[in-house]
């Protein structure tokens, strides 16, 4: 009987520790820092994440604390929306290509790297210090995964190409090449 009681108490203690860790690790949860806010999702039949749909609008904070709204680029630039995380080796592998393509097309396209579910320090470290090239395109923080949960259906990385009218022209689940990036930006510009 004493053995069972010890196991039960040990189980309760482990569960309490896990709950405490989860609560502590929820970045910015009560700090007043704006979190991802998804705007316009399912408000019209045309909004969604399918090719040909209006991309769901959102607001996220970048690494410098600036609020970025997806619709800010509407009418001005093609948006390449790339969801990534530091634990995803394929995500990190493609970031130098996104950097190169972003610089090449800076007049007509913007790369937005959405960091999925990590603290600002981790996203900054990988984007600025742990890659073979420093990333200069905006890294947006989706610490609570509000936006990621709308856009990511499966796997990581996930990349969307969105034309100047805010329509999704293509999406990819998994790592893509520089050639695909170039081809899809051209396709979005022509649509």
CA–chain centroid gap for 175, Å, is 14
pLDDT of 44 higher than 50: no
Give the chain's domain count.
1
| pLDDT tens digit sequence for 104-132 | 999 999 999 999 999 999 998 888 888 87
User: What ranges make up the beta strands (E) of 63-163?
Assistant: 67-69, 78-84, 109-116, 139-142, 158-162
**pLDDT value at residue 147:** 92
More confident residue, 153 or 191: 191
Domain assignment of residue 49, yes or no: yes
Dihedral of the alpha carbons of 168, 40, 76, 92, in degrees to the nearest 10 = -60
The CATH number given to whatever domain includes residue 176 is 3.40.30.10
| Cα distance between residue 125 and residue 159, in whole Å | 21
Domain assignment of residue 96, yes or no: yes
Domain assignment of residue 157, yes or no: yes
**pLDDT value at residue 46:** 54
Domain assignment of residue 65, yes or no: yes
Q: Is pTM beyond 0.85 here? A: no
| pLDDT tens digit sequence for 10-22 | 556 544 444 343 3
Percent of the chain with pLDDT over 90: 62
**pLDDT value at residue 131:** 83
Tell me the pLDDT band of 37, cut-offs 50, 70 and 90: low
| pLDDT tens digit sequence for 136-184 | 999 999 999 999 989 987 789 999 999 999 999 999 999 999 999 999 9
Average pLDDT in the chain: 82
**pLDDT value at residue 155:** 85
Domain assignment of residue 55, yes or no: yes
Domain assignment of residue 177, yes or no: yes
**Three-class SS of residue 39?**
strand
Domain assignment of residue 17, yes or no: no
Domain assignment of residue 9, yes or no: no
**pLDDT value at residue 133:** 83
pLDDT of 85 higher than 50: yes
pLDDT of 77 higher than 70: yes
**pLDDT value at residue 152:** 86
Strand partners, 61: 67, 141
φ, ψ for residue 129, nearest 5 deg: -125, -25
**Can you give the residue range of the structural domain that contains 164?**
34-190
């Amino acid at each position: 009987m004493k053995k069972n009681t010890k196991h039960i108490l040990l189980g309760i203690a482990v569960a309490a520790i896990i709950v405490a860790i989860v609560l502590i690790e929820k970045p910015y949860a009560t700090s007043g820092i704006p979190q991802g806010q998804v705007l316009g999702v399912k408000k019209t039949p045309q909004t969604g994440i399918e090719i040909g749909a209006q991309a769901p609008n959102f607001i996220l904070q970048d690494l410098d604390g600036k609020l970025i709204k997806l619709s800010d680029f509407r009418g001005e630039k093609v948006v390449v929306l790339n969801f990534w995380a530091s634990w995803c080796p394929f995500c990190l592998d493609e970031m130098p290509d996104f950097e190169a393509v972003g610089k090449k097309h800076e007049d007509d396209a913007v790369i937005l790297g959405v960091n999925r579910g990590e603290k600002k320090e981790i996203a900054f470290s990988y984007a600025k210090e742990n890659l073979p090239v420093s990333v200069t395109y905006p890294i947006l923080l989706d610490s609570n995964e509000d936006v990621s949960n709308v856009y990511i259906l499966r796997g990581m990385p996930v990349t969307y190409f969105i034309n100047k009218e805010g329509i999704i022209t293509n999406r990819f689940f998994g790592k893509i090449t520089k050639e695909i990036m170039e081809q899809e930006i051209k396709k979005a510009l022509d649509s």
